[in-house]
C-alpha cells in the first residue's frame, strides 16, 4: 500500500502528517500505533518525533490525532498543532487562517499570522487553561497543587512542579540546563509511578524576567528539540510562582517560543513558527 505524507517541523520537533481526508484510507488505533513506530524510525522509516493523522470532524474544522515515536497515543502537542495550521493553510483551497481543532484534550484554536518579505509565518495558539489538580494531570500527589514537591527516583531526588497543558508535565529548575544527563534523568521521571500515564519533563533555568532556558524529555519520544506544551508548562510554573513576567520567551534547543498567560484563570497563548519540509509517498 502506498501512503502520501508530508514532513513538518516546529523548531526541529518533527512530524509525519497523513491526511486521511485525502487518502480515504482509515486505520484502527492499533494499526496507527504500529505505523507510527515504523514511520518515525530514523534509520528504517521517514524519521520523526511523532505521527499526525488528520481526519474530518463533526464539531470543528479538523480532527487531530497524534502518536509518539514509540507508538503511544498523545493527547496534545503544541508544535504539531502549529504545523497543522500551516499544513491546512497550504493544502486547503479556502486558506483559513483561524481553525478550531478537535484533539484528545479538547478544542484547540490556532491562528496563522502571515508575515511579509519571505519571513516565516507565525502561528498563535490558544492552548486553553493550565490544570494544577493532581488527579487531572494525573499524578499521585496528596497536595492540592504540586509545587516544589520531592520526587525520589532510582537516579536522584528531584523537586518537581506538575501541571497539565493537555498532557502531563513535570517542570524542574536546574542550574546547568545543558550539562545535565537528560536521558538518564528524563527516563527515571517519565516512567515513575507518581505519574500513572507517564509524563513529559522540562529542565529549566530562568535567565531573566522575560526569558527561560529549557531542555525537554518527552514521554514516548525522548529528548526533542522543542515541545510546545512543555514550553507552556514551564512558563506557567514560572509565572504562577511570580518568578517571571506574564509573557516569557522560552529558549529551546530548536529555537524560541513566545508564551503568554495572565496568571489567573485565563488561557495560555503560544506563538511560534512551523515549517513544511517535504512531501512524499511511502510503501507500507
Spatial distance between the Cα atoms of 268 and 259, rounded to a whole number of angstroms: 7
Supply the pLDDT for residue 134: 98
Report the alpha-carbon distance of residue 234 to residue 238 in Å, rounded: 6
Over 70: is that where the pLDDT of 118 sits? no
Query: Looking only at Cα atoms, what is the longest distance across the chain?
Result: 54
Angle CA 183–188–189, to nearest 5 = 105
Give pLDDT tens digits for 120-160: 789 999 999 999 999 999 999 999 999 999 999 999 999 99
CATH 3.10.310.10 residue ranges of the chain are 2-111+274-283, 149-266
Question: Burial, 156: exposed, middle or buried (Cβ in 10 Å; 0-12, 13-18, 19+)?
Answer: exposed
Separation of alpha carbons 199 and 186, rounded Å: 9
Around 83, how many Cα atoms within 13 Å sit in the side-chain half-sphere?
34
Kindly state the average pLDDT of the residues 54-76: 96
> What are the cell numbers at 15?
512530524
Q: Helix or strand or coil: residue 165?
A: coil
Residue range 257-271, pLDDT digits in tens? 999 999 888 999 999
pLDDT of residue 25: 76
Question: What is the pTM for the complete model shown?
Answer: 0.94
Could you tell me which residues are beta bridge partners of residue 126? 109, 269
In angstroms and rounded to an integer, the radius of gyration of the C-alpha atoms of the chain is 18
The conformational region for residue 104 under phi > 0 = left, psi -120 to 50 = alpha, else beta, is alpha
Cα 114 from Cα 191, distance rounded (Å) = 40
Q: How far apart are alpha carbons 177 and 160 in whole angstroms?
A: 15
Q: How confident is the prediction for the chain on average, in pLDDT?
A: 95
Candidate from 89-98, 124-133, 234-243 with smallest mean pLDDT = 89-98
Confidence class of residue 117 from pLDDT cuts 50, 70 and 90? low
CATH architecture under which domain 2-111+274-283 falls: Roll (3.10)
Specify which of 23-27, 87-91, 164-168 reaches the highest per-range mean pLDDT.
164-168
Give the other-Cβ count within 10 Å of 98's Cβ. Answer: 12
- State what percent of residues in the chain have pLDDT above 90: 90
Catalytic residues: 77, 227
Quote the CA–CA distance of 132 and 227 in Å, as a whole number: 19
The topology (CATH level 3) of 149-266 is Diaminopimelate Epimerase; Chain A, domain 1 (3.10.310)
- Judged against a pLDDT cut of 90, whether residue 72 lies above it is answered with yes
User: Residue 60 has what pLDDT?
Assistant: 97
Distance CA 33, CA 36 (A): 5
Q: Is the pLDDT of residue 186 over 90?
A: yes
Q: Are 175 and 159 in contact (CB under 8 A)?
A: no
* Spatial CA neighbour of 123 closest among 76, 93, 87: 87
pLDDT of 94: 86
Q: What share of the chain in percent tops pLDDT 70?
A: 99
Amino acid at each position: 500500500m502506498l501512503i502520501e505524507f508530508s514532513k513538518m517541523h516546529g523548531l526541529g520537533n518533527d512530524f509525519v502528517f497523513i491526511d486521511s481526508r485525502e487518502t480515504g484510507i482509515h486505520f484502527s488505533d492499533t494499526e496507527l500505533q504500529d505505523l507510527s513506530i515504523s514511520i518515525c524510525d530514523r534509520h528504517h522509516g521517514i524519521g520523526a518525533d511523532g505521527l499526525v493523522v488528520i481526519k474530518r470532524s463533526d464539531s470543528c474544522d479538523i480532527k487531530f490525532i497524534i502518536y509518539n515515536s514509540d507508538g503511544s497515543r498523545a493527547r496534545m502537542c503544541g508544535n504539531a498543532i502549529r504545523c497543522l495550521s500551516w499544513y491546512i493553510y497550504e493544502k486547503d483551497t479556502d486558506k483559513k487562517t483561524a481553525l478550531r481543532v478537535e484533539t484528545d484534550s479538547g478544542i484547540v484554536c490556532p491562528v496563522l499570522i502571515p508575515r511579509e518579505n519571505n519571513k516565516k509565518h507565525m502561528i498563535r495558539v490558544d492552548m486553553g487553561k493550565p490544570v494544577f489538580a493532581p488527579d487531572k494531570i494525573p499524578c499521585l500527589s496528596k497536595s492540592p497543587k504540586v509545587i516544589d514537591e520531592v520526587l525520589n527516583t532510582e537516579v536522584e531526588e528531584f523537586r518537581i512542579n506538575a501541571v497539565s497543558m493537555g498532557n502531563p508535565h513535570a517542570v524542574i529548575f536546574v542550574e546547568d540546563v545543558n550539562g545535565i544527563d537528560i536521558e538518564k534523568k528524563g527516563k527515571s521521571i517519565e516512567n515513575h509511578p507518581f505519574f500513572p500515564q507517564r509524563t513529559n519533563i522540562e529542565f529549566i533555568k530562568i535567565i531573566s524576567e522575560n526569558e527561560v532556558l529549557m531542555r525537554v524529555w518527552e514521554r514516548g519520544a525522548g529528548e526533542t528539540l522543542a515541545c510546545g506544551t512543555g514550553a507552556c508548562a514551564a512558563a506557567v510554573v514560572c509565572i504562577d510562582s511570580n518568578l517571571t513576567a506574564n509573557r516569557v520567551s522560552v529558549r529551546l534547543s530548536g529555537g524560541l517560543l513566545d508564551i503568554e498567560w495572565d496568571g489567573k484563570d485565563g488561557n495560555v497563548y503560544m506563538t511560534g513558527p512551523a515549517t513544511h519540509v517535504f512531501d512524499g509517498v511511502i510503501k507500507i
